[in-house]
């Protein structure tokens, strides 16, 4: 049996390797548009910063390692057409030579592409997206050749923040321009403002609530312009305003699409076409807490979905368990993380959310180096179910470890108060007998009790007034 996989990033390579594990005799071919299969896109800012000096180190697995598993790689080949009736994929190499690959099973893992806003000036020299290995090479080469002194970053989400960190480390003056009221709009504004203080501490200028309307060249400088006469100039402009699913190839072949144009799949990662699977940033993702599909382009999710798609394409029976949107980002000396729902998302989903935000020491204060963690817990007022958690804390304070505990609790549908029963480790240099995970849950339960008491008292006062 022949399995063809379009796309060689997290989902595609994961599907290929899992398929070979399940069916060692399976003929697997992965079509890769560039020369970099299974590279860490999330690691690109650290290559641009110089912290990772060799881009080859960003490979999860080398070409040789992948081929050693019996996977055939067609590097620098673009899939141009899928013929479901004839069960073939047309691929074109860099010289324009086309050929057809027959398949019995097909996995589509074409990922996402950057959102490129409809504003003039995006094609100017010195304006770059940052999503692929080739994008990062272009930026890196430009920095070395032109030696710019300043940069304007359009977009204040994960990539924008990481690039602000990276380019500050390289010695550039950084201006960060975003549309949202605070940076990192996937967390509450109160946590975003903590990150803004950290950015300012490293002399990054942060401008919120500013839609960019145009980019123009003035001599050797690039000017980013917005409403009400807003302008900021720099030697380089990076645009990082999000991604969208790369699903046009699939849609042209008759594959059904849904949210934001993402490919529709079931729990087995099957599309509506027989024998055709899809996984990664090009597909809709089952949200485990919401109980419905969403668009959640995350590397961790792509790895899991690819493994499920590959196993099933090879004859297995596995379902993707769903995602909670767990994310983490480092911004200079701070780390921000989230899992589950924000307050407004919980309300929109029909929950009755109650949120508390507390500051807690990461370990016993008497042991040197204790740092404060800011933890926001959202739970359902009626059921007590945990709905979401957001955190900001110092880089060394195990923020990622603790958000993973909350993510595990969400995965298993735990109530907030049940977090107190978790048997978490303790020694004074790293935690407390009541870990910050416990303490934040206790603060939430206390706040809920106080709110209920206040509501009861208010009802009592109302009844007294009527009497």
- Within 10 angstroms of residue 325's Cβ, the number of other Cβ atoms is 23
Among 3.90.1280.10, 3.40.50.300, 3.30.360.10, 3.50.50.60, what is the CATH number of 333-456? 3.50.50.60
List the catalytic residue out of 1, 22, 35, 42: 42
Q: How far apart are CA 64 and CA 75, in angstroms?
A: 13
Which SS3 state, helix, strand or coil, does residue 6 take? strand
SS3 387: strand
Tokens of 179: 């549309």
Q: Give pLDDT tens digits along the chain (467 positions).
A: 999 999 999 999 999 999 999 999 999 999 999 988 988 878 888 888 888 888 888 888 889 999 999 999 999 999 999 999 999 999 999 999 999 999 999 999 999 999 988 999 999 999 998 878 888 889 999 999 999 999 999 999 999 999 999 999 999 999 999 999 999 999 999 999 999 999 999 999 999 999 999 999 999 999 999 999 999 999 999 999 989 999 999 999 999 999 999 999 999 999 999 999 999 999 999 999 999 999 999 999 999 999 999 999 999 999 999 999 999 999 999 999 999 999 999 999 999 999 999 999 999 999 999 999 999 999 999 999 999 999 999 998 999 999 999 999 999 999 999 999 999 999 999 999 999 999 999 999 999 988 888 777 776 666 556 65
Domain-by-domain residue ranges, the chain?
2-38+59-111+243-313, 127-239, 333-456
CA distance 435 to 185: 27
Residue pLDDT, tens place only, 220-234: 999 999 999 999 999
Mind listing the pLDDT tens digit for each residue in 352-371?
A: 999 999 999 999 999 999 99
Q: Scan for tokens 């179910």, then name that residue.
A: 385
Assigned CATH for 2-38+59-111+243-313: 3.50.50.60
pLDDT score at 57: 83
The yes-or-no answer on residue 42 being catalytic is: yes
Question: So what CATH class is 127-239?
Answer: alpha beta
Cα–Cα dist 11/22, whole Å: 16
Question: Is it true that 127-239 and 333-456 share their CATH fold?
Answer: yes
Residue 38 to residues 48, 84, 274, Cα–Cα distance (Å) = 18, 26, 27
């Amino acid at each position: 049996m022949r399995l063809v996989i379009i796309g060689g990033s997290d989902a595609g390579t994961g599907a290929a390797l899992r398929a070979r594990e399940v069916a060692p005799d399976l003929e697997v071919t992965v079509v890769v548009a560039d020369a970099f299969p299974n590279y860490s896109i999330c690691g690109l800012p650290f290559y641009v910063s110089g912290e990772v000096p060799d881009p080859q180190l960003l490979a999860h697995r080398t070409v040789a390692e992948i081929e050693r598993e019996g996977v055939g790689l067609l590097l620098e080949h673009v899939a141009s057409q899928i013929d479901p009736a004839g069960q073939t994929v047309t691929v074109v190499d860099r010289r324009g030579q086309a050929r057809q690959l027959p398949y019995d099973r097909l996995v589509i893992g074409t990922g996402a592409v950057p959102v490129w806003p409809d504003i003039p000036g995006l094609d100017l020299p010195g304006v770059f997206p940052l999503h692929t290995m080739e994008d990062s090479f272009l930026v890196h080469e430009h920095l070395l050749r032109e030696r710019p002194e300043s940069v304007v970053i359009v977009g204040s989400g994960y990539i924008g923040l990481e690039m602000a960190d990276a380019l500050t480390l390289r010695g550039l003056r950084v201006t960060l321009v975003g549309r949202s009221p605070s940076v990192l709009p996937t967390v509450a504004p109160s946590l975003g403002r903590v990150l803004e203080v950290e950015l300012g501490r490293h002399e990054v200028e942060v401008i919120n609530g500013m839609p960019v309307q145009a980019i123009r060249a003035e001599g050797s400088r690039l000017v980013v312009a917005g409403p009400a006469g807003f302008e900021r100039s720099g030697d380089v402009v990076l645009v990082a305003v999000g991604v969208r699913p790369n699903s046009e190839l699939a849609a042209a072949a008759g594959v059904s699409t849904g949210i934001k144009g993402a490919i529709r799949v079931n729990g087995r990662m099957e599309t509506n076409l027989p024998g055709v699977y899809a996984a990664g940033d090009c597909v809709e993702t089952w949200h485990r807490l919401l109980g419905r599909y969403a668009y959640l382009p995350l590397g961790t999710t792509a790895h899991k979905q690819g493994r499920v798609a590959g196993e099933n394409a090879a004859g297995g029976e596995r379902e993707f368990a769903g995602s909670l949107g767990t994310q983490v980002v480092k911004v200079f000396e701070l780390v921000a993380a989230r899992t589950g729902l924000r307050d407004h998302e919980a309300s929109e989903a029909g929950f009755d959310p109650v949120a508390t935000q507390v500051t807690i020491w990461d370990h016993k204060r008497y042991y040197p180096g204790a740092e404060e963690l800011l933890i926001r817990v959202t739970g359902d007022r009626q059921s007590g179910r945990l709905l979401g958690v957001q955190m900001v804390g110092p880089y060394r304070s195990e923020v990622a470890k603790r958000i993973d505990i909350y993510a595990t609790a969400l995965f298993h549908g735990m109530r907030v108060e049940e977090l107190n029963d978790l048997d978490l480790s303790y020694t004074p240099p790293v935690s407390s007998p009541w870990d910050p995970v416990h303490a934040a849950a206790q603060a939430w339960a206390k706040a809920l009790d106080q709110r209920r008491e206040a509501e009861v008292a208010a009802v009592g006062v109302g009844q007294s007034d009527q009497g």
